[in-house]
Amino acid sequence: MRGAYIMVKKFDVTQKYSREILKIKNILQQLENGRVYEISGVRNDGYLATNVIQLKEIITELLYKIEYDKDSLNDEISKILDKIDL
């Protein structure tokens, strides 16, 4: 087949940065469920603006980690646990 390319995954971003992605998914799920103070009246849900700011920060940090091949939260936790002598 002419012009067809086989894409080979270099590494699994979703797996490596699973905790960071899970944080984003959780905030989005809360927003989708209407879990914001302005709607629910529950202070623990946080304001919409606060949730948006958190999303921006987490996404910016995640993109930085990916672009510069920095450790994920999973990597950092593993390193800490490796230092603990059980």
**pLDDT tens digit string along 37-85?**
999 999 899 999 999 999 999 999 999 999 999 999 999 999 999 998 7
Helices and strands in the chain, H and E counts: 5, 0
Q: What span, in angstroms and rounded, lies between the C-alpha atoms of 86 and 83?
A: 9
Q: What is the pTM of this model?
A: 0.79
Supply the pLDDT for residue 11: 79
**pLDDT tens digit string along 5-47?**
888 877 789 999 999 999 999 999 999 999 999 999 998 999 9
Supply the pLDDT for residue 42: 92
